[in-house]
Structure 1
Amino acid sequence: MRRLPIVPTIIVLIAVGVMIRLGVWQLDRMHEKEAMLARYTAAQAAGTEMPFPTKPDSVEAALYHHSALDCLGASNPTSRSGRNANGDAGIAQIVTCRLGNGASVEVVLGVGQTPATVAWAGGKVTGWIAPGPKLIADPPLAGLTANARPDPNDIPNNHWSYAIQWFLFAAVALIIYVIALRKRWRER
């Protein structure tokens, strides 16, 4: 008579259950991410101006909206790789702006072709709120070319593939366990 070993069977079934639950969780995350991306796309299309978020709990609702701020002073000029409005690679010029309420905001002034930082003292900035949060200047400042507009489609939504992976892990675990059981039974 073939008997299942109790403890190993329970351990494998628990592991398979956890993997299936993780796959279902990834499917839930996929739907949440789709809703978030739809919200971001709608925010960008609406073009309504929103105050730049200076508190962490207000960032999510402000992303991809148009905004304006008064930069009282610019500091920490840096440059990073970036793209201009035509999609061409370049060097994004970034400063940290000090606001009237004491908050600091990262502002991407525009895109240049050299890594040399530009001199910009501050002033009125309009643009798009991007993840970070940071303000992507539109129009560009300091004689730079226009930044690529932040695009919600750049945020990956790969939860479907993660879900499939978890379901496959569960199936493989079951198959390996069945093969191990058959081998054990044959040896007896």
Structure 2
Amino acid sequence: MSAALTGAGRRFRPSLWATLFTVPAVLIMLGLGTWQAQRLSWKNDLIQRVQERMASPPAPLPASIADPEPFDLRPVTVSGRLLHEREMLLLARPRQGQVGYEVVTPLERADGGPAVLVNRGWVPMDKRDPATRREGQAGGEVTIRGVARLPAPSGWLQPDNVPGADVWRRADTVAMGAAAGLPAVAPLVVEALPGQAPGGLPAGIEPRVDLPNNHLQYAFTWYSLAATLLVIYVLFHLRRPRERA
């Protein structure tokens, strides 16, 4: 890069090693900022699609589901008999400061389709035993109103399920279906809406979507770092010409 007068008796004289470090670093930061800006557009479109999907009227869950993805986050209804004797417990977030579980109960479908795992919602720890909430163990045929959800895969920060444990750490339709002795199970979990269990427990699940959208913040951070590095690079290499002897 040629030297250029900058005023006030200073010249811009960049060193080779600083240039070899700064130019690639700035390009990488600009690339990451642009990638985050593209992710922001994608995330906004995704949030809009999810909101439209969840606002659709409830529809009966098909007996056969070849591709479960289009049903994820859709309001659905499903009818059949809840197999309370095969219910399972799932780790849940504390509710109003109280520790508890979510109750997952297989539903034997009335239309002959594979059983569906129904997440009937939260119960406090002292109601873990079904005998303490008999009112909620309704028999006979019922129709569940809820939201179909694809089980999330295990993440590197989330411990996976432990075979044989009393409490599941995450929903897994295949493993939970096998543990319940079901010959076949639908690839989706239906999260039951609140107000459907006699006695109020399990409490159901309010429709929930965890879609954090921090891409604008990330893009601003990367662009700011690139600009800061450029300013430091220029200021560091502004030098006064040597005085003549």
TM-score (norm 1): 0.70
Unaligned runs of 5+ in 2: 4-11, 131-136, 153-188
Unaligned runs of 5+ in 1: none
From 88, 97, 102, give the equivalent of 1:76: 88
CA distance in 2, matches of 1:41, 1:18: 34
Task: State the one-letter code of the partner of 1:77.
Answer: L
CA distance in 2, matches of 1:40, 1:19: 31
CA deviation string 1:93-136 (max 9, x = no partner): 2326377877874x321333445325359975431124635421
- Paired position in structure 2 for 1:26: 36
SS of residue matched to 1:46: coil
Q: How does 1:58-73 map to 2 (within 5 A)?
A: 58-59=68-69, 61-69=70-78, 73=83
- Paired position in structure 2 for 1:116: 127
Task: State the one-letter code of the partner of 2:191.
Answer: I
CA distance in 2, matches of 1:115, 1:44: 33
Count of aligned positions: 178
CA distance in 2, matches of 1:113, 1:72: 21
Which protein is richer in helix relative to its size? 1
From 127, 131, 135, give the equivalent of 2:146: 127
Identity %: 26
CA contact (8 A) 1:79 1:116 kept: no
Q: 1:7 to 1:46 in 2, by over 3 A?
A: same
Q: 1:5 to 1:51 in 2, by over 3 A?
A: farther
- Could you list the structure 1 runs, at least 4 aligned residues long, displaced by more than 6 angstroms after superposition: 52-55, 98-104
CA distance in 2, matches of 1:187, 1:75: 82
Is 1:8 paired with 2:18?
A: yes
CA deviation string 1:68-88 (max 9, x = no partner): 4457753432342266xxxx6
Q: 1:16 to 1:97 in 2, by over 3 A?
A: farther
CA contact (8 A) 1:82 1:111 kept: no
CA contact (8 A) 1:49 1:68 kept: yes
CA distance in 2, matches of 1:82, 1:49: 31
Task: State the one-letter code of the partner of 1:112.
Answer: V
Q: Name the larger-Rg structure.
A: 2
TM-score (norm 2): 0.56
- Paired position in structure 1 for 2:225: 169
- Paired position in structure 1 for 2:50: 40
1:31, distance to aligned residue in structure 2 (A): 1.2
SS of residue matched to 2:207: coil
CA contact (8 A) 1:110 1:147 kept: yes
CA distance in 2, matches of 1:67, 1:146: 18
